[in-house]
Amino acid sequence: MALAALLMTGPTWGSLALAQQQPAVPDAPTPQPRPSLSDVNGPITPGKGAGDVQAGPSSSSTPGQQKEVPSSLPPSSQGKDTFQTTPPEMPAPGDALSAIPKFVIHTNFVEVPVTVKDPKGKLVAGLTFRDFKVFENDTREPIAFFTVDPFPLSIAFIIDQSLTSDVMAKVNNSLGAIQGALTPYDEVAVFSYSHGTQERTGFTGAQSNRLPAVLAFTKATGTEELVPINSGPFAGCAIRENGNCVDPNVQQGGSTGNSSFVTIPKEIHTLNDAILAAAKELSTRPQGRRRLIYVVSDGKEAGSKATYKDVLRYLQTNKIAVYGTAVGDSARWGEGYISRLHIPFTMYENRLASYVLATGGTLDSEGNSNGIEKSYAKIAEEARTQYTLGYYSHQPVIDGKFRKIDVRVERPGLEVIAKTGYYPSAQDAR
């Protein structure tokens, strides 16, 4: 009975043997708190990226043994910054924009195209920069730029349609030779004027098919040259309708209130307006091109809204030279020079010559179609083969004052053609 009770209460011999054969299962590890990112050491640290210092044995230390300063703190909290020892300028509130320093150095570069001719009027080649002297406001300037390379031309071609019919016919016959004097690198705009200015076309390629078509449409009949009669029996209207003169401008007393004489209509030759319109178009052309205005006219000026002084200043500010072929009365020997003289309170007989001399261009006088055609090629050659001088002005960059230029060549008997001066502009500042 005792043995039976022992077997009932205690483990059996089979279970004891099974327990001795199975190994003991250890307890699970205790959970540990994760270290913060700022305490992690290694080749890549959060907030710092890859460092140059490799992690040493100290990187295996526990978080409680080593503490690092978090990288998110400002540099001043990590130690004294010795990069900047002086404090910055601190303007008063509202004065920040005016207190910002500006370090600007401007220089005024002046470009001067020069044409040199011998006593026979032939172009002189082979000169070097040592042969030239440039003076601005009577002060010699060192030449900083010199070249004899040709420049592409931007030409604004102006045709006077207020010429007499016989002279206008010669000009019409010569217009076909304009394209032959230009290269594919050139560009041309066409203007005409009589009682006003008209732009025939903007700038187009000199060898394009558009240019001859536009020149063909620009041909005009001109005006009739009549002897004005404002008194006497022949001063009345020869053509009447219903008892009145057909043309009220020449009717006796129509504009003066007196029937004893006829008021002769004034001549209109808007040369100033035409040159100003062409100059405005030329001012938009890019740098690196030679800007020219070519005028075929007798040079008469009357009735323009723009004044000569204002137009000339615009030309001298935008580096535009005026060339021309004088025709009609201005092309006659002797009379062409006398027409440059102006009698007060009368029409300017040859205002074109004043533009040419002031801007450094040349003026050719021709009386027939063949001569006009040759003048196109002659003037285009002169404009293309100029010497180009450049210097830095000693004057203030932009002061709005006219600056006189004098170019000299230290060789006897040579004619030097250059602009007489300029007005500074923001385009010259570098």
197-204 LR contacts (CB < 8 Å, sep 24+): 197/270, 197/273, 197/274, 197/277, 199/277, 199/281, 202/281, 203/154, 203/281, 203/285
For the chain, domains (ranges, CATH) are: 108-150+385-430 (2.60.40), 152-224+268-383 (3.40.50.410), 229-263 (no CATH)
pLDDT at res. 268: 86
Q: Which has the higher per-residue pLDDT, 119 or 21?
A: 119
Mean pLDDT of 96-107: 50
Residues 6+ apart with CB under 8 A from 36: 63
Helix locations, 208-359, DSSP H: 210-218, 271-282, 308-317, 335-338, 352-359
Mean pLDDT of 92-119: 69
Mean pLDDT of 20-46: 63
pLDDT digits (tens, 9 = 90+) for 249-291: 555 555 444 555 556 667 889 999 999 999 999 999 988 889 9
Mean pLDDT of 159-186: 92
Q: What is the spatial distance between Cα 403 and Cα 410, in angstroms, rounded to a whole number? A: 23
Q: What is the spatial distance between Cα 378 and Cα 353, in angstroms, rounded to a whole number? A: 17
Mean pLDDT of 197-222: 93
pLDDT at res. 213: 94
Mean pLDDT of 191-220: 93
pLDDT digits (tens, 9 = 90+) for 44-62: 555 555 555 444 444 444 4
Closest CA to 116 of 143, 145, 148: 148
pLDDT above 90 covers what percent of the chain? 41
pLDDT above 70 covers what percent of the chain? 64
CA-based radius of gyration for the chain: 45
pLDDT at res. 238: 55
Q: Which has the higher per-residue pLDDT, 14 or 310?
A: 310
Q: What is the spatial distance between Cα 386 and Cα 113, in angstroms, rounded to a whole number? A: 6
pLDDT at res. 195: 86
Can you say how many angstroms the Cα of residue 400 is from the centroid of all Cα atoms in its chain?
A: 18
pLDDT at res. 154: 95
Task: Share the mean pLDDT of the chain.
Answer: 78
Torsion over CA: 243, 249, 255, 256 (sign): negative
pLDDT at res. 277: 96
Tell me the sheet residues that pair with 354: none
Mean pLDDT of 314-326: 94
Q: Which has the higher per-residue pLDDT, 48 or 223?
A: 223
Structure tokens at 371: 């001569």
Q: How confident is the model at residue 245 (pLDDT cuts 50, 70, 90)?
A: low
Structure tokens at 29: 């590890």
Residues 6+ apart with CB under 8 A from 378: 364
Q: With 90 as the cut, is the pLDDT of residue 21 above it?
A: no
pLDDT at res. 222: 87
Mean pLDDT of 329-346: 72
Which range has the worst mean pLDDT, 51-65, 321-335, 373-387? 51-65
pLDDT digits (tens, 9 = 90+) for 345-372: 677 888 999 999 999 999 999 989 999 9
Q: How far is CA 177 from CA 62, 186, 373, 418, in A?
A: 97, 15, 6, 27
pLDDT at res. 58: 44
Q: With 90 as the cut, is the pLDDT of residue 246 above it?
A: no
pLDDT at res. 96: 44
pLDDT at res. 117: 94
pLDDT at res. 108: 80
Mean pLDDT of 318-332: 90
pLDDT at res. 250: 54
> Which pTM does this prediction carry?
0.69
Q: What is the spatial distance between Cα 263 and Cα 229, in angstroms, rounded to a whole number? A: 9
Q: With 80 as the cut, is the pLDDT of residue 125 above it?
A: yes
